[in-house]
Amino acid sequence: MNALKQIERQLSESVAARAHDDATGLLGAPATTQRPLLRRRPVQFALAGVLGAALLVVGLTNLGGAPGATPAAAAALERLARIAGSGPSLVPGPGEYLYVRSVSDYPAVIEGGRGQTPCVSYAVDHRQVWIAADGSGLLRESTGPTTFPSAADQEHCQAVAPKLASASGTSNLWFAAGCFELGPTNDMGSLSTDPGTLLEQMRRLDGGPDTPGEDFVHVGDFLRETDASPELRAALYRAAALIPGVQLLGTVQDHFGRHGLGVALTTDGVRHELIFNGQTAALMGEQSTGSTPESNSWAVYLNSSVVDNQPYPSPVRLNPPCNAGAGHVQNVPGGSVETGLPAGQADGFAPQPANP
């Protein structure tokens, strides 16, 4: 795991744990956390208006020859693919940044020891990311106070993790060139636009078990905070149509009440949803819902665009660049920075004190 992946894990997962361990705003990781799958609760079905004449019966199969998505879901995903393929590009050029702003609430899960019920807590995370074409950029997150599914859960968490903090905080992480990955791979241009081949590539790059549920997760992973071209985004929707069990929800609401087109897959009693803008085909939200507190979560994507500046400059020079993702992390005023490794230093995640 390279330094970025470990930093991302600290922010995307351990920020929700709210265990402050230094004055810069970086937060300590819980013992275990749930992988951010898809988000929250079910919503009402409504087919009229969004699909229109696009609800054609499309016969698609997955890689093994078994039925893929339902015909209605396949038709809707094909419609989204056609929109995405002709849509604006999110690939930043020289001097530009891919900018994504999102809000999410994922569970942080801390194990209480053998045989004990885990501690589950939540904290709303406001996330902004600026990613340049050369792999430099900024990850900025502001986390709200800790909340719990119930008063009993709060009491249990105080016993299991008495140092669990409830204060909010903001973290800035600046990256030198080559240190920031544009999604699960830095080379999105190498991915196939053939849907079946793309599913195989996502399994290899993103990891996880070879299951429909994992394939559905991969689709979201390669859509959010990535510079996938319009052609590749279209292929991602067509790849989703090959996944067995994917169903059409019709018009649904994301956690902010915005209407979009929803598709879902239920695995192990948890329903995972992807919600798309029916006019632009942009990913606008994710939700999951299940019978346990740790299976409920949500995310909304408020802005995905190419911009020409990053408004929060690093307090120090961002050099040297990273080589093959190998970086050196140090604390600085207002956050942390990752730059290339000093000469002779082995790859590793080793935060250093800020220079005086």
Mean pLDDT, range 174-195, rounded to an integer: 88
**Between residues 137 and 50, the one the model is more confident about:** 137
- pLDDT surpasses 90 at 176: yes
The percentage of residues in the chain with a pLDDT greater than 70, rounded to a whole number, is 74
- pLDDT surpasses 90 at 161: no
* SS3 readout for 204-234: HHHCCCCCHHHHHHHHHHHHCCCCCCHHHHH
194-209 pLDDT tens trace:
999 999 999 999 888 8
CA distance 330 to 336: 6
pLDDT at 234 (0 to 100): 98
- pLDDT surpasses 50 at 233: yes
29-49 pLDDT tens trace:
333 333 333 322 222 222 223
The percentage of residues in the chain with a pLDDT greater than 90, rounded to a whole number, is 55
| pLDDT grade for 114, boundaries at 50, 70 and 90 | low
Question: What is the layout of strands, in order, in the sheet containing 137-143?
Answer: 247-253, 259-267, 270-276, 283-289, 297-307, 97-105, 125-132, 137-143, 169-175, 335-340, 327-332
pTM over 0.85: no
Between 11-15, 37-41, 66-70, the lowest mean confidence (pLDDT) is in 37-41
- pLDDT surpasses 50 at 245: yes
10: which residues sit within 8 A by CB, 6+ positions away? 26, 27, 29
pLDDT at 325 (0 to 100): 64
